[in-house]
Amino acid sequence: MKKIIVLLCFFIGVSSFAQQKEYETKSNIQYYNTTINKSDNYINERCVLDIYYPKNTKNFATIVWFHGGGLTGGNKEIPEALKNKGFAIIGVNYRLSPKVKAAKAIEDAAAAVAWAFNNIANYGGDTSQIFVSGHSAGGYLGLMIGLDKKWLQKEGIDANKIAGLIPFSGQCITHFEIRKENGIPETQPTIDTFAPLYYVRADAPPLLLITGDRELEMLGRYEENAYMARMMKLTGHKQTKIFELDGYGHNMTEPAFPLLLNEVNRIIKEKQNK
C-alpha cells in the first residue's frame, strides 16, 4: 500500500507540475516556404498548422497530430486531452481530395513534420522527441511518412529520427480514397506503394497501433493493424505494439489519448536512461 501511495503522489506531482506551466498557441503558420506558397493558392490557404507549447520551457517533447476525415474533409485541431501535459502539440491542415490527388496529403504531412524538426527548437522543444500521431486518415498519413522514408527524405529529414509513431485507427492497406481514385472497390484489399504495410521494416521508429473494437470498427480496420503489427515483428522490429479498445468503434480517440501519452512518456524515459 505504501508503494502505491508513493507512486500516486509522484504522478500527481508530475501532473501538477505540467499543469502549472504557461502555454501559448500560435495559429495558421505556413509550413511550406514562401516560394511554394506563392506558386499555389490552395497550398497557401490550406497548408498551415497550429502549435500549442509550454512557454519558458526547454527540451519539451512534441506531438504532431493529423486530423481524420478520409483525406476528403476535416480540419486541424489541438486535442483537449493532450493539453497541459508538458508537451507541444502541433495540429496540421493538409490538402484534401478531390481538389487534389490524395497523395498530395502525404506530401503535406511530410512537409509539416519537417517543419517541426526545423523549427521546434526555436520554441524550446527537443528535436529528438518529436512524435507523430493522428486519427483515421491522420493515422494513415503518419504511418506513410514514418515507414516510407522517401516522403521525409524529400524534405531533408530522416524518418528514423521520429521518436515514435502512434496512429489511431489508421489504414494500413492502401487508403480507400486512393483506391477510389483508381477504381478499386472498398472491399478489395490492396497493398501497393500507397499502403503502409508495403514498407514494414526492422529499423522504423517505435510503433504503437491503436484501434477500436474489431466488431465495431470500419471495414477490417483492426485486422489491417493486426497484420501490420505481425509483419513488423516478423521483419525484426522490436518495438511494435497493438491495442484494441473493446466496446469502442472507429471514433475511439478519447480512450486512446491516455495510451498515446503513456507511450510518449515511456519512450522519453527510455531515451533518458540510455
pTM of the model: 0.92
Where does residue 31 fall: left (phi above 0), alpha (psi -120 to 50 degrees), or beta otherwise? alpha
Q: pLDDT band at 4, cuts 50/70/90?
A: very low
Model confidence at 5: pLDDT above 80: no
Q: What percentage of the chain has pLDDT greater than the value 70?
A: 93
Given this model, what pLDDT does residue 9 score?
45
* Cell (9 digits) for 67: 486530423
User: How confident is the model at residue 50, as a pLDDT?
Assistant: 98
pLDDT of residue 236: 98
Question: What are the two backbone dihedrals, phi and then psi, of residue 145, each rounded to the nearest 5 degrees?
Answer: -75, -20
- Give the pLDDT band of residue 11 (cuts 50, 70, 90): very low
| CA–CA dist 57, 155 (Å, integer) | 27
pLDDT at 271: 87
Q: Using one digit for the tens of pLDDT, what is the confidence trace for 148-187?
A: 999 999 999 999 999 999 999 999 999 999 999 999 998 8
Between 266 and 7, the more confident residue is 266
pLDDT one-digit tens code per residue, 205-236: 999 999 999 999 999 999 999 999 999 999 99
Please classify residue 156 by burial: count the beta carbons closer than 10 Å to its beta carbon, then call 0-12 exposed, 13-18 middle and 19+ buried: exposed
Residue 35: how many other CB atoms lie within 10 Å: 7
* pLDDT-based confidence at residue 20 (cuts at 50, 70, 90): confident
DSSP reduced 3-state for 92: strand
Q: Which long-range contacts (CB under 8 A, 24 or more apart) does 147-151 make?
A: 147/196, 147/199, 147/200, 147/201, 147/204, 148/193, 148/196, 148/198, 148/199, 149/199, 151/106, 151/107, 151/109, 151/110
Whether the ω angle into residue 98 lies within 30 degrees of 0, i.e. cis, is yes
On the question of pLDDT at 7 being above 80, the answer is: no
240-245 β-sheet, strand order:
23-30, 48-54, 88-92, 60-66, 125-135, 164-168, 207-212, 240-245
State whether the Cα torsion 247-239-82-50 is positive or negative. negative
Give the mean pLDDT of 93-118.
Answer: 98
Say which CATH architecture domain 24-273 belongs to.
Answer: 3-Layer(aba) Sandwich (3.40)
Which pLDDT tens digit goes with each residue over 234-253?
999 999 999 999 999 999 99
| Average per-residue pLDDT for the chain | 93
Question: Tens digit of pLDDT for each residue in 64-86?
Answer: 999 999 999 999 999 999 999 99
Domain boundaries, the chain: 24-273
Extract the runs of DSSP E, i.e. beta strands, from the chain.
23-30, 48-54, 60-66, 88-92, 125-135, 164-168, 207-212, 240-245
| Residue ranges in 2-70 assigned as alpha helix (H) | 2-20, 34-39, 41-46
Does residue 32 carry a pLDDT above 90? yes
Q: What is the mean pLDDT of residues 91-100?
A: 98
